[in-house]
Amino acid sequence: MKRLDDFFAFFLQQNFAHLSAVEVYDYGSVCSTVLYRSADLQAELFILKPNAGFPRDHRHPDVDSYEYVLSGHVPLIVNGVDVSRGSDGGDGALAVGNMRALYKVSSKDWHSVGDIPNGGAFVSLQLWKNGRAPNSVGLDWEGTPVSETHRRLLRRKDAVWIKTLRHERQSEIMTLNLNSGRSLHANLR
C-alpha cells in the first residue's frame, strides 16, 4: 500500500481551494464528490445527512483506502469492530501528526458506518486496483445497497455490484441467535 501512503501524504499537502468537482453522486442519505483523480488514485468527499450512514456491511473489491474524517464522529465498523473507538474507549484512529480521525480500509475489509446524529463528512483517499477505472466507491460495491437510489445507480454499466446475501444472512442470524440463545448451526440449514 506504499502508493496509497504516498498519495495520502501528497493529497494532504494540496490547497483544498484548488480542488474542483470531477463527478458528483447522490446515494440518497449520502452524497459524494470526486475531488481529485489521477490514473488509479482518487480522492472522494462523502457528506452524510443527519441520522444517516452506511448501515449495511459492504466492501469495495477493487479499492484500498484511507478514510479521513473531516467533521462529526463517524462510527466506522471494520470486520465487526468499531475502529472509531479504541480499547480504552477513546478514538481508535491512526495518528498522523495532529490528525487522529484516519482509518485504513482494504478491499477485503467488510465495513459499515453507523448512525451519525448530526451528520458528518469524510474524504476517502483511494487506490483502485485490478485494472478497474476509478469512478465512485459507491459503484464498486459488494453487499446490499444503502438505499433504492443506490440500487438504481448500481445498475449503471460502469458499476460493479456483487450481491453478497450469505454474508449478511449469517450476520443477521448470528445477531438474532445472540439475542434468542438459539443455535447458529440450526438456522443455517
**Residue 123: predicted pLDDT:** 93
Task: Tell me the per-residue pLDDT of 12-61, one tens digit each, with 9 for 90 and over.
Answer: 888 888 888 999 999 888 899 999 999 999 999 999 888 877 767 899 99
What average pLDDT does this structure show over 70-74? 82
| CA pair distance 105, 49, nearest whole angstrom | 22
Q: Which of these, 157, 123, 163, lies nearest to 33 by C-alpha position?
A: 123
pLDDT of 92 above 50: no
pLDDT (tens digit, 9 = 90+) per residue, 117-159? 888 899 999 999 999 999 999 999 999 888 899 889 999 888 8
- pTM: predicted TM-score of the whole model, two decimal places: 0.79
The dihedral of CA 105, 108, 114, 119: what is its sign? positive
Alpha carbon distances (Å) from 100 to 52, 83, 114: 22, 12, 19
Are the beta carbons of 125 and 98 closer than 8 angstroms? Answer: no
| Residue (of 50, 176, 65) closest to 111 by Cα position | 65
pLDDT at 101: 67
Cβ pair 41, 159 in contact under 8 A: no
183 vs 119: CA distance, rounded Å? 38
**Cα-based angle 38, 40, 41 (whole degrees, multiple of 5):** 60
